[in-house]
Chain A
Amino acid sequence: MEELTGDITKVILDGRLDIEGAAAVDLQMNVIAGNRKAVLVDLQKVSYLGSMGLRALVAPARAIKSRGGKMVLFSPNEMVEKVLKCSGIDTLIPVHFDLQSALAALQ
């Protein structure tokens, strides 16, 4: 996790967001969602995203949104992006491939 300028928190996820991976990040993501209002989730190193992984992204996004904040996803690989699009999650949690636009969306 990194703190960026403008009170933006960058969360770097790494590996597989499958059932085990989702369980491993759930608690920390929920803690972040409970006290941050601008969160960039870096998916560059996520090699796999399943439906439980989607849940691990959506739950904190919902919590942040309910507190008036925003979460964006950054730079998923092609297959992870396909999962995000097929599920429609990309319409609710914006996906950016350019870091500056991702940061701008959180300002």
Chain B
Amino acid sequence: MTVNGTDQTRDKLALRSRLSDIAQLPPWIEVLASSYAIPVDVQFAMNLCLEEVVSNIIRHGYGTEADRSVIVRFTMPREGYFVFVVDDEAPRFNPLSAPELPNLNARQEIRVGGQGIRLLRRFADALEYEPMPTGNRLRMGFSTTGSAVRTY
């Protein structure tokens, strides 16, 4: 995904590494959806992906460290296309290179762990990981047309 040119930061949410802070995401997304006329299905996808990414950072990236930073920035680089940039200070981890569990089938034991990566790849229209000097940056793009190029 390339977000060029008129990319302008519209909003920002600063979270601490506490699972309870994830509750701030839905109302924030709702405000953005209202301000930028984001369709309900795109809003759902944003919620799903952000919840997944932020909870993974808090649970696995920071582990027991309860007061570290997770910054989420929202931009609308062009009409009908929305980008969230998630920055953390956790040890390097590229979720896009993490293995995705094979599709569950009736012969397997029921399990869920690892489905988060699959959901992220299915519901975001574009994903881009960038290692940062002090942590990780993940960009997630969402399109109202669903036709954005997928980049992992």
Contacts and interface: CB of A to CB of B under 8 A. Distances in A.
A19 B118 contact: no
A16 B110 contact: no
Given A58-B112, A62-B110, A51 B52 contact: yes
A86 B80 CA distance: 24
B19 interface: yes
Interface residues of A, number: 25
Given A58-B110, A86-B122, A88-B103, A52 B55 contact: yes
B89 interface: no
Interface string A41-65: 0000000101110110010011001
B51 interface: yes
B107 to A, nearest CB: 10
Contact of A19 (B22, B45, B104, B106): B22
B105 A88 contact: yes
Nearest to A18: B51
Contact of B55 (A19, A82, A86, A89): A19
B26 interface: yes
Interface residues of B, number: 28
Determine which residue in B45, B51, B52, B110 has the highest number of CB atoms from chain A within 10 A of its CB, and name it: B110
A91 B104 contact: yes
Contacts of A93: 110
Contacts of B109: 62
Interface in B47-70: 47-48, 51-52, 55
A50 B104 contact: no
B91 to A, nearest CB: 22
Nearest to A61: B110
A46 to B, nearest CB: 12
Contacts of B19: 19
B105 A91 contact: yes
A83 interface: yes
A58 B119 CA distance: 16
9 contacts: A19-B19, A19-B22, A50-B52, A61-B110, A83-B119, A89-B104, A91-B103, A91-B106, A92-B105
